[in-house]
Amino acid sequence: MQHLNQLQALRRQRAEWRQAGLRVALVPTMGNLHAGHLSLIRRAAASADRIIATVFVNPLQFGAGEDFAAYPRSLERDSDMLRDAGCDLLFAPSEAEVYPRGRDRQTYIEVPGLSDQLCGASRPGHFRGVATLVAKLFNLVQPEVAIFGEKDFQQLLVIRRMVEDLNLPIEVVGVPIVRESDGLAMSSRNSYLSAAERAIAPRLQASLITAAARLRSGANVAEVELDAKAALAAAGFEPDYVSVRRRADLAEPEPEPEHETRLGLGSAEDRALIILAAAQLGRARLIDNLVCDLDAPLAEPARNLRP
């Protein structure tokens, strides 16, 4: 596996692969890798001839008082994991390489609407920073396919909208959440949890499972959201939001016409839902989501997708 940190070196290698007619997949990460990231590499291997993974802790997506300085960095370990997983090239640039004019003079990419709600409302500018970096990587690498995890479902939709709006010839693929055996979604920030907090953390997914069951039974959306937040607070979290949204576009589902009776929601898009949650637990800000399709048979949520 090659390990590059200069933009020009990456461009040269990408040009060689293009000349050879090779299909390239891009897997952007912030490092401190875990099994969830490796699932992205495996999906990339099924989609392309060559895999480029990036490790870059992007300062533009951290707000004031957030954990940019403390974010776990483990480049040597990450490199070993990527090599063993079959990655062809690791690109791990410095901040000066990515933002040569500095953070304050960087041109930004913004995706309005999708970026301003949920995590975007709590973390102003976060998705602007994400979109700006990903757009730079897309322009640099020009991949045929880019792979992202579905744990940050809002981020996935922001990137898909950016690709659509900017007419970028890139397929954006989402990969299902990889969980620990007790249901906790894998995250680089899980390392912040104390032993006591780690024992509590799986209740985040449990709250989503309960919320989905209540929605299927016909419960009111607003009540489901409020009760889930209350349950998280009682368990020791500081909940930011629990929100039921349309899976297609994160819009709030519309109630069905009064003459309809099916579980309170009408159109197919308003019944193909996702429940998203974010909550603080100690130093860790945890996010999770659960698909809830009201017209599909009930399935047992996957609790352990580790390879």
Domain ranges of the chain: 2-175, 188-293
- Confidence class for position 254, pLDDT limits 50, 70, 90: confident
The long-range contacts involving 124-129, CB below 8 angstroms and separated by at least 24 positions, are 124/63, 125/60, 125/61, 125/63, 126/61, 126/62, 126/63, 127/61, 127/154, 127/155, 127/158, 128/60, 129/58, 129/59, 129/60, 129/61, 129/62
CATH superfamily entry for domain 188-293? Pantoate-beta-alanine ligase, C-terminal domain (3.30.1300.10)
Q: Do 2-175 and 188-293 show the same overall fold?
A: no
Residue type, 227: D
- Confidence class for position 295, pLDDT limits 50, 70, 90: confident
Residue 67: alpha-carbon gap to chain centroid: 17
Tell me the Ramachandran region of residue 253: left when phi exceeds 0, alpha when psi lies from -120 to 50, beta otherwise: beta
- Where are the strands (E) in 83-237, listed by range? 89-91, 145-149, 171-175
Q: Is 37 a catalytic residue?
A: yes
Cβ neighbour number for residue 256 with a 10 Å cutoff:
16
- Confidence class for position 265, pLDDT limits 50, 70, 90: low
Q: What's the confidence (pLDDT) of residue 300?
A: 52
Q: What is d(CA 12, CA 21) in angstroms, rounded to the nearest whole number?
A: 14
pLDDT above 80: residue 95:
yes
Among 3, 34, 37, 126, the one annotated catalytic: 37
Between 21 and 260, the higher pLDDT residue: 21
pLDDT above 80: residue 289:
yes
Domain 2-175: which CATH number of 3.50.30.30, 3.40.50.620, 3.40.50.720, 3.40.50.2000: 3.40.50.620
